Protein backbone atom coordinates (compact mmCIF):
# COMPACT_ATOMS: atom_id res chain seq x y z
CA UNK A 1 0.00 0.00 0.00
CA UNK A 2 2.84 2.41 0.82
CA UNK A 3 4.39 1.81 -2.58
CA UNK A 4 1.08 2.70 -4.30
CA UNK A 5 0.76 5.90 -2.23
CA UNK A 6 4.35 6.83 -3.08
CA UNK A 7 3.79 6.28 -6.82
CA UNK A 8 0.53 8.21 -6.69
CA UNK A 9 2.34 11.09 -4.95
CA UNK A 10 5.08 11.14 -7.58
CA UNK A 11 2.49 11.06 -10.39
CA UNK A 12 0.56 13.94 -8.79
CA UNK A 13 3.74 15.99 -8.38
CA UNK A 14 4.76 15.34 -11.99
CA UNK A 15 1.32 16.44 -13.17
CA UNK A 16 1.19 19.63 -11.08
CA UNK A 17 4.79 20.76 -11.66
CA UNK A 18 4.15 22.08 -15.21
CA UNK A 19 1.11 23.99 -13.94
CA UNK A 20 3.29 25.73 -11.32
CA UNK A 21 5.88 26.58 -13.98
CA UNK A 22 3.18 28.09 -16.23
CA UNK A 23 1.75 30.04 -13.29
CA UNK A 24 5.20 31.51 -12.65
CA UNK A 25 5.29 32.77 -16.26
CA UNK A 26 1.82 34.33 -15.95
CA UNK A 27 2.13 38.08 -15.36
CA UNK A 28 -1.15 38.68 -13.55
CA UNK A 29 -0.52 42.40 -12.94
CA UNK A 30 0.11 43.06 -16.65
CA UNK A 31 -2.99 41.20 -17.80
CA UNK A 32 -5.22 42.81 -15.16
CA UNK A 33 -4.03 46.37 -15.90
CA UNK A 34 -6.70 48.72 -17.18
CA UNK A 35 -4.28 51.16 -18.83
CA UNK A 36 -1.87 50.35 -21.65
CA UNK A 37 0.99 52.20 -19.91
CA UNK A 38 0.54 50.10 -16.76
CA UNK A 39 0.45 46.83 -18.70
CA UNK A 40 3.64 47.83 -20.56
CA UNK A 41 5.34 48.76 -17.29
CA UNK A 42 4.44 45.38 -15.75
CA UNK A 43 6.00 43.66 -18.78
CA UNK A 44 9.08 45.87 -18.26
CA UNK A 45 8.77 47.36 -21.75
CA UNK A 46 10.75 50.55 -22.21
CA UNK A 47 12.01 52.77 -25.03
CA UNK A 48 9.97 51.32 -27.90
CA UNK A 49 11.48 51.66 -31.36
CA UNK A 50 9.02 51.94 -34.30
CA UNK A 51 9.66 49.15 -36.83
CA UNK A 52 8.25 48.11 -40.17
CA UNK A 53 9.75 44.65 -39.60
CA UNK A 54 6.63 43.73 -37.61
CA UNK A 55 3.82 42.52 -39.85
CA UNK A 56 0.24 42.80 -38.57
CA UNK A 57 -2.59 41.23 -40.56
CA UNK A 58 -6.00 42.30 -39.24
CA UNK A 59 -9.15 43.61 -40.87
CA UNK A 60 -9.42 47.37 -41.34
CA UNK A 61 -13.11 47.04 -40.45
CA UNK A 62 -14.22 44.27 -38.10
CA UNK A 63 -17.84 43.22 -38.55
CA UNK A 64 -18.03 41.98 -34.97
CA UNK A 65 -15.63 43.05 -32.23
CA UNK A 66 -16.22 39.74 -30.40
CA UNK A 67 -14.07 37.90 -32.97
CA UNK A 68 -11.25 39.75 -34.69
CA UNK A 69 -8.57 37.55 -36.23
CA UNK A 70 -5.04 38.92 -35.91
CA UNK A 71 -1.84 37.54 -37.39
CA UNK A 72 1.54 38.85 -36.27
CA UNK A 73 4.91 38.00 -37.78
CA UNK A 74 8.21 39.45 -36.63
CA UNK A 75 11.05 39.78 -39.10
CA UNK A 76 13.30 41.12 -36.33
CA UNK A 77 16.26 38.79 -35.68
CA UNK A 78 16.32 36.96 -32.32
CA UNK A 79 12.69 37.76 -31.49
CA UNK A 80 12.09 36.62 -27.91
CA UNK A 81 8.51 37.78 -27.32
CA UNK A 82 5.48 39.29 -29.04
CA UNK A 83 2.93 41.23 -26.97
CA UNK A 84 -0.43 42.31 -28.43
CA UNK A 85 -2.29 45.30 -26.96
CA UNK A 86 -5.65 46.95 -27.71
CA UNK A 87 -5.63 50.31 -25.92
CA UNK A 88 -9.40 50.89 -25.85
CA UNK A 89 -10.18 47.50 -24.30
CA UNK A 90 -11.04 47.18 -20.60
CA UNK A 91 -7.76 45.22 -20.23
CA UNK A 92 -5.38 46.35 -22.99
CA UNK A 93 -2.90 43.43 -22.85
CA UNK A 94 -4.41 40.72 -25.04
CA UNK A 95 -1.52 38.26 -25.27
CA UNK A 96 2.18 37.86 -24.59
CA UNK A 97 3.85 35.07 -26.56
CA UNK A 98 7.35 33.88 -25.60
CA UNK A 99 9.62 32.28 -28.23
CA UNK A 100 12.74 30.21 -27.65
CA UNK A 101 14.89 27.52 -29.24
CA UNK A 102 14.58 29.08 -32.70
CA UNK A 103 10.77 29.09 -32.83
CA UNK A 104 9.34 31.11 -35.71
CA UNK A 105 8.00 34.44 -34.37
CA UNK A 106 4.55 34.08 -35.91
CA UNK A 107 1.16 33.94 -34.16
CA UNK A 108 -2.48 33.81 -35.23
CA UNK A 109 -5.15 34.52 -32.65
CA UNK A 110 -8.68 35.80 -32.32
CA UNK A 111 -9.22 38.72 -30.01
CA UNK A 112 -12.10 40.80 -28.67
CA UNK A 113 -12.20 44.52 -29.28
CA UNK A 114 -14.52 46.77 -27.29
CA UNK A 115 -14.42 49.64 -29.81
CA UNK A 116 -12.37 51.24 -32.58
CA UNK A 117 -8.73 51.09 -31.58
CA UNK A 118 -5.20 50.45 -32.69
CA UNK A 119 -3.80 46.98 -32.31
CA UNK A 120 -0.33 47.62 -30.96
CA UNK A 121 2.33 44.94 -31.18
CA UNK A 122 5.56 45.08 -29.19
CA UNK A 123 8.42 42.72 -30.05
CA UNK A 124 11.28 42.03 -27.66
CA UNK A 125 14.67 41.23 -29.10
CA UNK A 126 17.93 41.29 -27.13
CA UNK A 127 16.62 43.63 -24.40
CA UNK A 128 15.26 46.07 -27.02
CA UNK A 129 11.60 46.66 -27.77
CA UNK A 130 10.18 47.34 -31.23
CA UNK A 131 6.61 48.38 -32.00
CA UNK A 132 4.13 48.64 -34.83
CA UNK A 133 0.37 49.36 -34.84
CA UNK A 134 -2.66 48.93 -37.05
CA UNK A 135 -5.98 50.73 -36.65
CA UNK A 136 -9.16 48.63 -36.68
CA UNK A 137 -12.68 50.00 -36.91
CA UNK A 138 -15.17 47.87 -34.96
CA UNK A 139 -18.70 47.86 -36.38
CA UNK A 140 -20.32 45.83 -33.58
CA UNK A 141 -19.17 45.90 -29.94
CA UNK A 142 -17.28 42.82 -28.75
CA UNK A 143 -16.53 43.39 -25.06
CA UNK A 144 -19.12 43.93 -22.43
CATH code (residue 56)? 2.60.40.2470
pLDDT at 46 exceeding the cut of 90: no
Residue 124's pLDDT is what? 95
| β-strand pairing of 48-50 with 128-138 | parallel
Q: What is the mean pLDDT of the chain?
A: 85
For the chain, the DSSP string reads -HHHHHHHHHHHHHHHHHHHHHHHH--HHHHH-SSHHHHHHHTT--SEEE-TTEEEE--SEES-TT-EEEEEEE-STTEEEEEEEETTSSS-EEEEEE--TT---EEEEEE--SSSEEEEEEEEETTEEEEEEEEEEESS----
Confidence of residue 125 (pLDDT cuts 50, 70, 90): very high
Q: Say which residue, 25 or 133, is predicted with more confidence.
A: 133
CA distance 94 to 27: 12
Q: How would residue 143 be classed by pLDDT, with cut points 50, 70 and 90?
A: low
Structural domain contains residue 107: yes
18 within domain boundaries? no
CA dist., res. 60 & res. 133, Å (int):
12
Total domains in the fold of the chain: 1
Residue 7, in any domain of the structure: no
Who has greater pLDDT, 51 or 64?
51
In a domain, 40, yes or no: yes
- In this prediction, residue 21 carries a pLDDT of 43
| 58 part of a folded domain | yes
- Tell me what pLDDT residue 105 has: 94
Closest alpha carbon to 80 in 54, 101, 55: 101
The stretch 116-128 carries a mean pLDDT of 95
Domain of 112 in residue numbering reads as 28-138
Task: Please tell me the predicted confidence (pLDDT) of residue 19.
Answer: 45
Examine residue 22 and state whether it is found in any structural domain, yes or no. Answer: no
Task: Answer yes or no: is 39 within a domain.
Answer: yes
pLDDT on residue 119 = 97
Rounded average pLDDT over 59-73? 94
Within-domain flag for 99: yes
12 — pLDDT class (breaks 50, 70, 90): low
Amino acid sequence: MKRRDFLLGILTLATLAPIKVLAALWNKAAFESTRLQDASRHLQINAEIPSQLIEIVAPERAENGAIVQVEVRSHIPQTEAIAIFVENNPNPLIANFIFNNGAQPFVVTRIKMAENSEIKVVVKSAERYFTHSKNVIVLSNGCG
